[in-house]
Chain A
Amino acid sequence: MSLLERTGVAMTPGNIRTRKLSTAVVLGIAVAAVALAAVVVFGLGIGNWVLVVALGGVFYLAGVYVAASRVEGRRAARNRTWSALIHSACVLAILPLASVVWTLVSKGMERLDGDFFGSSMNNIGARDPEGGAYHAIVGTLEQVGIATVITVPLGVLGAIYLVEYGRGRFAAAIRFFVDVMTGIPSIVAGLFVLSFYVLIVTPWFNDGRPGFSGFAAALALSVLMLPTIVRSTEEMLRLVPGPLREGAYALGVPKWKTILRIVLPTALSGIVTGIMLAIARAAGETAPVLLVAGGGAAINFNAFENNQSSLALFVYQQAGDASRYAPARAWTAALTLVALVLILTIAAKLLARRNQLTR
């Protein structure tokens, strides 16, 4: 008798067939568990339907475990319990997300009209139901756009340096500071740009007056995006197997060309995902924009001069506004922001996939 057979683990031809708990029985257990939970909860008057679902889940787990261990054996019972637990964890994780999306859509629909996307808050008083986020959308697109143009080349090149060229102390120091930068609160990034760029650099060109602008906000967002992009790109580049690079070297391809034509395309979709995460985070930042772009009610296409608003800032301001029309604007702006990030992400994914072969 082999070791495994003695412990009862081994599968001999005699016991590769097992009895199965039928689907009907499992459903029956589920119904019974919920019914029992309802009786307990409402009978004792200790809660509402949320508790029924939660308690029903617990009863179901217990019931399935008992039933399965009678019919299918202990290993199968444990398998059923764990897979039920994992599925409920998945549902629990999705619930808040679904609830956020639902709230956004239902409350954001009220002001989802042409006026909202076509007008600004200029000359809109507390009693005017009109007004829109055109200026904020322009601000978000320009600020995030400029920040992306600054950080993507810098971040990707920095990551390439760290992975392909960086050796020794200098690279280790850079990696350390990138890690530290990842943890910088956005308000600190905003303060940094305020004290350095807005209050010290711009007065030179501006007759001594500090220049608040969308560009300053873009700089602050860049400080936030750069470490995220460097880190995620670095991880993705490290995943590209060494033999792939060697394959290109062996064909006499120079190192820089190998990186450009072999390594980057291989890691592209992961890099794009990292960049999109950074963009999404930057698009949602309020504090730095408030600090260095100042916000504003009117449309300002020039990111380099005068105040600009952004969608996140617009949400913040409208949500705190006393006007009874303001909350609806805030919800619609929040919905717009989420939709914007979603569209950008999908577009970027499609673009990245175009360069990749379908499997």
Chain B
Amino acid sequence: MAKRIEAYNVSSYYGSFKAIDNISMTVEPKTITALIGPSGCGKSTFLRSINRMHEVLPGARIEGRLTIDDQNIYDSDVDVTAVRRMIGMVFQRPNPFPTMSIYENVVAGLRLNGVRKKSLLDEACEKSLVAANLWNEVKDRLDRPGAGLSGGQQQRLCIARTIAVEPQVVLMDEPCSALDPISTLAIEDLMFKLKDRFTIIIVTHNMQQAARVSDRTGFFSIDKTGDPGRLIEYDDTQKIFSNPSEKKTEDYITGRFG
């Protein structure tokens, strides 16, 4: 089920602006990988390149190869929607569907992909909301609009929505930046649970979180504004946080930079 993701010399562009340069990394199945680095260094851009969300923006393009279980997802005969169904994504800013209720938001992915059976949807809804630590807060108002929730609740709603379709890889772009410590712990628990079956890549600005949850950590950085982001170091989390081989990494995680 879980997939291995490999990036070979991936560079992503916004028009003529090169946002990331020559990223190569391998993400093993059933692991949690954390991406850290200063703001604007291309973490989101790289993450969005993994499920072909980058190309949605006009003028955005990518060079290099990105494979999932040895299949290049950028091959011309690849079905984009299949890739995205396999690789789910939680965005940096919560984006619940404004015309849908909480319930409809959670099961949107299933419904829009053809699942009709009510009992199945109900079950998926409850399971996903419980996993995202939102069930207790919303179980009495599932028919209320999803956009009427607080910012942190909306983010957890989006997490529930993503895991409801059971993707094999989950990309999370700062999923906890708007969450309280209790919900953050719940999401981290969820990640540990998902790890049994799925591959997870998470972007975070929270060093403790990266150290707590991840098996491997990638450190991105830019030399100066306008330069493309680069993968400085990619290693076991243990090693990155105790004995990084690059001076820049050490400076960043000890707070002397960025």
Which residues of A does B touch, CB under 8 Å? 167, 241-255, 257-258, 261-262, 265-266, 268, 355-357, 359
Task: Give chain A's interface secondary structure class.
Answer: helix
A250 touches B89 (CB 8 A): yes
- Please name the residue on chain B nearest to A258 by beta carbon: B112
B84 touches A251 (CB 8 A): yes
The 20 listed contacts between A and B (C-beta, < 8 Å) are: A242-B56, A246-B56, A247-B161, A248-B108, A249-B81, A250-B162, A251-B85, A251-B109, A251-B113, A251-B161, A252-B85, A252-B88, A252-B109, A252-B165, A253-B108, A253-B113, A257-B112, A357-B99, A357-B100, A357-B145
- Please name the residue on chain B nearest to A356 by beta carbon: B99
A241 to chain B: which residues have CB within 8 Å? 95
Q: Which of B88-105 contact A (CB under 8 A)?
A: 88-89, 91, 93, 95-101
Of B99, B108, B158, B161, most buried by chain A (CB within 10 Å of CB) is: B99
Which residues of B does A touch, CB under 8 Å? 51, 53, 56-58, 81-82, 84-86, 88-89, 91, 93, 95-101, 108-109, 112-113, 144-145, 148, 158, 161-162, 165, 167
A250 to chain B: which residues have CB within 8 Å? 51, 53, 84, 88-89, 91, 162
Q: In the complex, what's the smallest C-beta–C-beta distance from A255 to chain B, in angstroms? A: 8
B99 touches A251 (CB 8 A): no
B95 to chain A: which residues have CB within 8 Å? 241, 243-244, 246-247
Q: Contacts A250-B51, A252-B81: A265 and B89 contacting too (C-beta < 8 A)?
A: no
B96 to chain A: which residues have CB within 8 Å? 247
B88 to chain A: which residues have CB within 8 Å? 250-252
A249 touches B84 (CB 8 A): yes
A243 touches B93 (CB 8 A): yes
A258 to chain B: which residues have CB within 8 Å? 112
B99 touches A265 (CB 8 A): yes
The distance in angstroms between the C-alpha atoms of A356 and B98, with both chains bound, is 9
B91 touches A253 (CB 8 A): no
Q: In the complex, what's the smallest C-beta–C-beta distance from A36 to chain B, in angstroms? A: 53
A248 to chain B: which residues have CB within 8 Å? 97, 108, 112
Q: Contacts A252-B84, A254-B81, A359-B145: A247 and B97 contacting too (C-beta < 8 A)?
A: yes
Q: In the complex, what's the smallest C-beta–C-beta distance from B110 to chain A, in angstroms? A: 9
The distance in angstroms between the C-alpha atoms of A196 and B112, with both chains bound, is 45
A251 to chain B: which residues have CB within 8 Å? 84-85, 88, 108-109, 112-113, 161-162, 165
B162 to chain A: which residues have CB within 8 Å? 250-251
The distance in angstroms between the C-alpha atoms of A248 and B148, with both chains bound, is 19
The distance in angstroms between the C-alpha atoms of A226 and B96, with both chains bound, is 33
